[in-house]
Amino acid sequence: MNDTAGRIPDDAHAPVETLYRGRWLTLRQRGRWEYVERNNPGGAVIILAVTPEDRVLFVEQYRVPILQRTIEMPAGLVGDLAEQEGEGALIAAVRELEEETGYRCGRIEFIHEGPSSSGMSTEMIAFARARDLVKVGPGGGDESEDIIVHEVPRSAAGAWLFARAAEGYSIDPKLFAGLWFLEHGGPDGEPSTEA
């Protein structure tokens, strides 16, 4: 047995120093650890959405930090604008789903929350399941985004993602967690058979 299991490192008690504060992110240091914080305290939300035709919704966009086109699930920041201050993850999920994909959901449910990259960031990401989808607009994101929406048969989603990776797209690994949640349900463990 590892005798250091459960030990809290000395760095956890070190004072926090702000190295840089930008509009959206702050770079901090605690002991030897450098990490980033989002300046909005709400974190982010990933939306698991399947159309009535049993097609999973994915979004494609260019991501400047990695200089690459990515395939992701619809997602967004929670409470990132002044008029959205105090909104919760589920409200943000409804808003982002319609903005990015053009689909409105009849109901939304919380699935799970965890860190996006616990060694680099304080950001927490929630997964939400959108149900009873209805197409109400074109999607594509807001004026700062150029999002392409993909509707992929659920049964072929994994293979489709690997094919996009072979073409040079960056595939967010959290997509595979999202696909697992679609098949196995949320905290209650019930499979998600509803399209």
The pLDDT of residue 81 is 64
Is residue 195 predicted with pLDDT exceeding 50? no
Q: What CA–CA distance (Å, rounded) separates 174 from 169?
A: 15
Dig out the tokens for 164 from the structure: 């996009």
- CB-count burial class (<10 Å; 0-12, 13-18, 19+) for 153: middle
Mind telling me the catalytic residues? 143
Q: Quote the CATH superfamily of domain 44-184.
A: Nucleoside Triphosphate Pyrophosphohydrolase (3.90.79.10)
- Domain map (residue ranges) of the chain: 1-39, 44-184
Identify which of 12-16, 120-124, 127-131, 138-142 has the greatest average pLDDT.
127-131
Dig out the tokens for 47 from the structure: 């939306």
The pLDDT of residue 45 is 95
Is residue 85 predicted with pLDDT exceeding 70? no
Predicted confidence (pLDDT) per residue in 166-194, tens digit: 999 999 999 999 999 999 876 555 555 44
Q: Cα-Cα-Cα-Cα dihedral of 161, 166, 171, 174, to 10°?
A: 60
CA 64 to chain centre: 17
Q: What CA–CA distance (Å, rounded) separates 152 from 58?
A: 8
Q: Tell me the whole-structure pTM to 2 decimals.
A: 0.86
Predicted confidence (pLDDT) per residue in 47-82, tens digit: 999 999 999 999 999 999 999 999 999 999 897 665
Q: What CA–CA distance (Å, rounded) separates 93 from 71?
A: 18
Average predicted confidence (pLDDT) for the chain: 89
The pLDDT of residue 74 is 97
Dig out the tokens for 156 from the structure: 């072929």
Q: Specify the range with the lowest mean pLDDT, choosing from 51-60, 117-126, 136-145, 169-178.
A: 136-145
Is residue 4 predicted with pLDDT exceeding 60? no
pLDDT over 90, % of the chain: 68
Q: What CA–CA distance (Å, rounded) separates 194 from 63?
A: 32
The pLDDT of residue 142 is 79
The pLDDT of residue 144 is 77
Which residue, among 172, 169, 173, 188, has the nearest Cα to 129 in the 3D structure?
A: 188
Q: What CA–CA distance (Å, rounded) separates 33 from 41?
A: 20
Instruction: Provide the terminal-to-terminal Cα distance of the chain, rounded to the nearest Å.
Output: 46
